[in-house]
Structure 1
Amino acid sequence: MKLKNLLKIILIVSILTTSAFAIKKDEIKSEMNNKIDQIISILKNEEFDKEKKNKKIIEIIDVVFNYKLMARISLGKTWNTLSSEKQDEFATLFEQKLKTSYIEKLNLYTDQKVKIIDLVPYLKSRLQLTTEVIGSKEVYEIKYNFYEDKKTNEWLIYDIDLVGVSIIQTYRQQFSGLLKEKTFDEMLVVLKDTTNQND
């Protein structure tokens, strides 16, 4: 499936990242399950304009994503060659790009149902939450990869697998391709431009 098609269901991905607080290990399934209705309610609320919906969705998903770790993984070995200032600049842009992708797809929600299947160990010390997004004609399997923040003992999302394709690995391939043709600063300009076009 092409990245464009994957991004079409990115909104549905976001409706599971709904805890008001960071999540403890034994709370992942219950917190995800209990908060799905909250986000769907926001999407359906006709009293909220688009801007208000966007703000509420972002506030909810912010607490369970580690955007900086996602940025680092997506950049690969290049990350370690950068100054802390450049790392922060890239991480900020990457976070903005992810959020823009979510917001861009708000209008794609059409009463799909979300079903939590299971939470299982993944890659030794991590966890993977398997879910299904059930539409009128299609069912998508989406897996959320969690790691434990050792400082807080809270679990955060660092990657999402959409129908067999890792979002982070997809971005990693894109950035790797760009860096074969451009300097890092030139790639930042491209990232800024593509993100701003979707604002």
Structure 2
Amino acid sequence: MKSFKKLTKFLAAGLLLISGAVFAQTPDQTTAPDALIKMVVSDVMASVKADPDIQKGNIPKIVELVEKKIVPYTDMRRTTEMAMGPNWKKATPEQQNQLVMEFKNLLIRTYSGALSQLRDQTVQFKALRAAPDDKEVVVKTVVLGRGDPVPLDYRLEKTDKGWKVYDMNIMGVWLIEAYRNQFSNQISQNGIDGLVKFLQDRNKQLASAKPAN
């Protein structure tokens, strides 16, 4: 089983590519899933490179960027629910809300390292293979830069508010599957409250860590 640290590193590398600054064209309910990903990715590549503070790992600026430009295009509740698996229904509404919040904070905190390392990468977009009436699709991309090309796929669902990202595949590892093992182990040992505490403690560690340049 992959370590928690390695999983968050993979996750950060992937999530940085669905962040962005001000869009030249703002995605809405009618934006196609592949167009959504391409618009956001294209902006983040330019925006992060132009922001020295983000490159230095400025946490407040990264958090602001994520909250404004990533969260609206993701479905964190579904991501958390699927990562929890059968344990989701065992959690109280209050616990569910706590888990969604802490998991979101964990993903946001991972940006501090990933965004600061964005330099000369480019992204190759694959043709979307989907029917017009599909409610779920996978948008495939390849990250090109230092080292070998990195396949990065986004799983999106169609909602009444437009397409939302809820899962990613980074080098053959689906985010939800990876975290499901981590969450299941924590719950089996310490219960759902134990998982909440685990995420809270991890977030505190990430918050207090100095950015790596």
TM-score, normalised by the number of residues in structure 2: 0.80
Q: Name 2:211's counterpart in structure 1.
A: none
Where do 1:54-133 residues align within 5 Å?
Answer: 54-121=63-130, 125-133=135-143
Among the aligned pairs, what percent are the same residue?
20
Q: Distance in 2 between matches of 1:98 and 1:34?
A: 21
Aligned length: 195
Write out per-residue CA displacement over residues 117-165 of structure 1, whole angstroms, 9 at most, x where no aligned residue.
122239x74100000000132100011001111xx16211110011111
Q: Distance in 2 between matches of 1:104 and 1:136?
A: 16
1:171 paired with 2:213, answer no
Question: Residues 179 and 138 from structure 1, CA distance in 2 versus in 1: closer, same or farther, beyond 3 angstroms?
Answer: same
**8 Å Cα contact 1:17/1:64 also seen in 2:** no
Structure 2 unaligned segments of length 5 or more: list them: 208-213
Structure 1 unaligned segments of length 5 or more: list them: none
**8 Å Cα contact 1:11/1:108 also seen in 2:** no
Where do 1:137-156 residues align within 5 Å?
Answer: 137-149=147-159, 152=160, 154-156=162-164
**8 Å Cα contact 2:49/2:118 also seen in 1:** no
Deviates more, 1:13-22 or 1:71-80: 13-22
Question: Residues 57 and 161 from structure 1, CA distance in 2 versus in 1: closer, same or farther, beyond 3 angstroms?
Answer: same
Q: Distance in 1 between matches of 2:8 and 2:98?
A: 24
Question: Residues 46 and 180 from structure 1, CA distance in 2 versus in 1: closer, same or farther, beyond 3 angstroms?
Answer: closer
Question: Residues 109 and 195 from structure 1, CA distance in 2 versus in 1: closer, same or farther, beyond 3 angstroms?
Answer: same
Q: Which residue among 37, 44, 62 is the counterpart of 2:42? A: 37
**8 Å Cα contact 1:143/1:161 also seen in 2:** yes
Deviates more, 1:104-113 or 1:50-59: 50-59
Q: Which amino acid aligns with 2:36?
A: E
Q: Which amino acid aligns with 2:17?
A: I
**8 Å Cα contact 2:136/2:156 also seen in 1:** yes
**8 Å Cα contact 1:66/1:156 also seen in 2:** yes
Deviates more, 1:51-60 or 1:132-141: 51-60
Secondary structure at the counterpart of residue 144 of structure 1: strand
Question: Residues 183 and 60 from structure 1, CA distance in 2 versus in 1: closer, same or farther, beyond 3 angstroms?
Answer: same
Q: Distance in 1 between matches of 2:162 and 2:51?
A: 34
Q: Distance in 2 between matches of 1:171 and 1:190?
A: 13
Write out per-residue CA displacement over residues 90-128 of structure 1, whole angstroms, 9 at most, x where no aligned residue.
111111111111233222212111111122239x74100
* Bigger relative CO (Cα 8 Å, ≥ 6 apart): 2
Q: Name 1:15's counterpart in structure 2.
A: 17
Q: Which residue among 144, 150, 155 is the counterpart of 1:134? A: 144
Secondary structure at the counterpart of residue 197 of structure 1: helix
**8 Å Cα contact 1:23/1:31 also seen in 2:** no
For the aligned residue pairs, the C-alpha RMSD in angstroms reads 2.5
